[in-house]
Amino acid sequence: MKRKVVSQGPSSMMVSLPIKWVKEFGIKKGDEIDISEEGQGLLISSNRKKRGGKIEINLESDNRLYVYRHIQAVYVNGYEEVIFHYPDPKIANVIQKAIINFFIGFELVSQNKGECVVKSISVEKEEEFEIVMKRIFQGILQMDELFYNFLKNGEDLNMILNLEEINNRQVLYLQRIVNRGKIGSEFYYTILMFLEKLANEYKFIIINGLDKKKVSKDILVYYSKLHKELENVYDVFFKYDSKKVSKIILEDIRVEEFQILFKENPFLTYYLMKIVDTIRYILFQIVNLEFARK
C-alpha cells in the first residue's frame, strides 16, 4: 500500500496508519508504537496483541468446572465471539450461568438445540485497569480484615465468599485487558493470578471448616502482622518504594513462627502459610514489574 507524506513542522514528516491495522490492534490516540529502520524500509509495530476474533469450541460435558475453564480460556485470550457446540442442550444453561457469574462483557446472544453463540458486548478500556486493580487489592484487604474479625470476635464470614466471587470476575476482566498487550503484561498477569489465588485461600479455609474455638491469642497477633504486610504490598504496587520493599522482606514471617503456630492449630497454620507464600510471590512480581516499566 502507498501513503502520502505530509509535512509536520520543520523537522518531521507524517503518514497515516492503515485503519485495518489500527482496528486489529486497538490503537488509539496517545498510544505509543515502535518504529525501527530496516534498510530502505521502516518497520512499525505495536506491543498490543490483535483484537480477538471468532472461535468455535466443542463441549462434551455439562460439568461446571469443565465448561468454566473453556470459557475462561477464550475470554482471557481476547476473543470477541465464541460458538459453542454441544450434544446436550443442558450445557447451554451451564454456559449461561458461568457467563453471568464470572465474565464481564460476555453475553449469550443466540441459542438452539446444538449450539449457542457468546459475544463480547462491551469494549475493555485500558484506562480502567488501575481502577479495577485497586478494587481487587482493596477487596483482598477487606477479606483479610473480615477474616481477622472472625478469628477475634466470631463475626459472620458470608461476605468473604461474596467478595471472593467479585474478585474472580475482576481478575478475569483485567487478564483479558493484559492479554491485549499491556507493557509488563507477563508480570501483571502473574500478579492477577496470585491475587485470585489469595482470595481462594480465604474461601478454602471457610468451606473446609475452620474451628474458631481453637484460635489462640498468638495466632491473632501473627495474623495482625500478616495483614500489615498485605497493606504494605498494596502500597508498593501503586507507588513503588525500594525501601518499603526491603522492609517487607526483612519483617517477613519466619519459619520458626510457623513451627510454633502449627503445634497450636495445624489446619489454620497450613492455610496461613499458603497465604504468606502467595503474598511473597506477588511482591516479587511487583519488583519485576517495576523494572519492566522502565
Task: Kindly state whether residues 35 and 109 are assigned to the same domain.
Answer: no
Task: Kindly state whether residues 151 and 285 are assigned to the same domain.
Answer: yes
pLDDT in the model for residue 40: 62
> Rounded to whole angstroms, what are the CA distances from 23 to 19, 265, 276?
6, 56, 43
Task: Kindly state whether residues 96 and 210 are assigned to the same domain.
Answer: no
pLDDT in the model for residue 26: 67
Which pLDDT tens digit goes with each residue over 70-81?
Answer: 999 999 988 999
**Residue recorded with cell 513451627:** 259
Given 86, 120, 154, the domain boundary residue is 120
Task: Indicate the number of domains in the chain.
Answer: 3
Q: pTM (2 decimals)? A: 0.77
Residue 248 in any domain: the answer is: yes
Top mean pLDDT of 92-101, 177-186, 283-292 is at 92-101
Task: Kindly state whether residues 172 and 253 are assigned to the same domain.
Answer: yes
Given 103, 120, 137, the domain boundary residue is 120
Residue 236 in any domain: the answer is: yes
Residue 264 CB coordination number (10 Å): 14
Task: Give one DSSP letter per residue of 127-161, joined into a string.
Answer: GGHHHHHHHHHHHHHHHHHHHHHHHHH----HHHH
Residue 89 in any domain: the answer is: yes
Which pLDDT tens digit goes with each residue over 164-205?
Answer: 999 999 999 999 988 876 666 888 999 999 999 999 999 998
* C-alpha cell recorded at residue 96: 449461561
Which pLDDT tens digit goes with each residue over 1-12?
Answer: 777 777 776 667
Arithmetic mean of pLDDT, 79-106: 95
Which pLDDT tens digit goes with each residue over 19-78?
Answer: 766 666 667 777 777 776 766 667 776 655 555 689 999 999 999 999 999 999 999 988
Asked whether residue 208 carries a pLDDT value surpassing 80, the answer given is: yes
Residue 280 in any domain: the answer is: yes
Confidence band, pLDDT 50/70/90 cuts, at residue 292: confident
Asked whether residue 211 carries a pLDDT value surpassing 80, the answer given is: no
DSSP 8-state assignment for residue 214 = G
Domain limits for position 76: 54-120
pLDDT in the model for residue 171: 96
pLDDT in the model for residue 110: 95
pLDDT in the model for residue 71: 96
Residue 168 in any domain: the answer is: yes
β-pair partners for 85: 58, 115
pLDDT in the model for residue 45: 66
Q: Choose among 93, 183, 91, 83: nearest CA to 129.
A: 183
Task: Kindly state whether residues 39 and 61 are assigned to the same domain.
Answer: no
